[in-house]
Amino acid sequence: MNMAFNEETFRGDFTFRNSPESVRRFPYPFEEDEYMYSVNIEQHTSGEPGSVFEHPIDVDEHYVAECKERAIVLSEDHTRCVALPHMMDAQWDTLELVMTSLSESYPSEFQLTIDGDNWHWVNKPLGIEDHFVFGDVSTLPMEPFEYVMRQVQGDWVVMDQRDNDLYADLGMVTGQADWSVAFDAGMSFKEWHAPVPHAPEMGIFDRALKYLLHLQYGSPVRRTNWRMCVNPRLDTSSETYDVWGTDNVSATKENAGDKVFLRVELQALFRLPRSNAIAFSIRTYMVSLADLATYPRWAKRLNRVLRSLHPDLAEYKGLNSFKQPVLDWLEPLDDGAFLEKGVHPE
């Protein structure tokens, strides 16, 4: 993995960009020409070298910039980090998961030395080095969850398991796709999924919940989800709609290639050992339509998926105000040729 980190922004001048390597490893979500919600959960096993599935927690060229963006969001609004008091074991569990995973996957960038409860953590890309006592909050500059979450890409929600349900009781969400962790904190699994159209009557959430309640330590699972957005803005939370809402009407047929992004969430779920909670990571990957179209089958398939998308889903995914310019931009790239099943780039 190339560990050169981009200098880029996710707001203001939007200098976010993907290298060709980053485009190639983009977790393209559409296997077929049509899309409908499904449980689509698979084992989170190690994927091909270089792919976003190679390691349990992926670090890429956007790492440093995303951590900076996270810090900006938190400095403006600290309610993006929610930690209910009964989740302290889960906080330490999450810290352990992130630190052990990063140090095992990227030993040149992250190092963890464990001597009983005395831990030594080195994060070279962010220039962090700390000694602390595992389990002793006073030895860290802040609570363990916030400390480690400021050093990882993507949003994380940790769910407490009780009453045969999962509750979103711990989370740091700074790059969310039009939702709010402050609003969802404490909600049960079905409560926070309730807005998804057509999924409840398909029984998807009953099945997914039942599956997750049995999630085993050591056997994490994953799924992908997707949206689209205008401008590579990570923070499109419900609270800041006034800031980004107008972006959505700025896309035209002419600028859609550079201005509109396919936004894929790689969601992974890990059972945590001490708390029996489940960590749910939502890592967002964004790619512009122009970059996506460097692989023609990706552009063709996206055109077909968007054209056949159920109107309720298009609305739920916030596409309505810019769907037409996107289709106008994609249409000339689609020769109508048959595409075999699969998400591969060419």
Query: Is the Cβ of residue 77 or residue 165 nearer to other proteins in the bound state?
Result: 165
The token pair at 303 is 């055109």
For the bound state, the minimum distance from the C-beta of residue 215 to other proteins, rounded and expressed in Å, comes to 10
Query: Is the Cβ of residue 103 or residue 237 nearer to other proteins in the bound state?
Result: 103
CA–CA separation, 191 vs 205, rounded Å? 10
For the purposes of burial, counting CB atoms within 10 Å of the CB of 201, is it exposed (0-12), middle (13-18) or buried (19 or more)?
A: exposed
For the bound state, the minimum distance from the C-beta of residue 27 to other proteins, rounded and expressed in Å, comes to 24
For the bound state, the minimum distance from the C-beta of residue 207 to other proteins, rounded and expressed in Å, comes to 11
| Residues near other proteins, by CB under 8 A | 86-89, 135, 160-164, 210, 214, 216-219, 273-276
| Residue type at position 26 | F
Query: Is the Cβ of residue 21 or residue 191 nearer to other proteins in the bound state?
Result: 191
Q: Which of 145, 174, 153, 161 is nearest to 76 (CA)?
A: 174
DSSP letter at 55 equals: S
Query: Is the Cβ of residue 104 or residue 254 nearer to other proteins in the bound state?
Result: 104
Query: Is the Cβ of residue 22 or residue 275 nearer to other proteins in the bound state?
Result: 275
Active site residue 25: no
- Say how many C-beta atoms besides its own lie within 10 A of residue 163's C-beta: 8
Q: What angle do CA 28, 29, 35 make, to 5 degrees?
A: 145
- Say how many C-beta atoms besides its own lie within 10 A of residue 275's C-beta: 21
Active-site choice (223, 227, 274, 304): 223
The token pair at 75 is 């400095």
For the bound state, the minimum distance from the C-beta of residue 150 to other proteins, rounded and expressed in Å, comes to 24
For the bound state, the minimum distance from the C-beta of residue 79 to other proteins, rounded and expressed in Å, comes to 21
CA–CA separation, 14 vs 265, rounded Å? 20
Contact assessment for residue 62 and residue 153, using Cβ atoms and an 8 Å cutoff: yes
Catalytic residues: 223
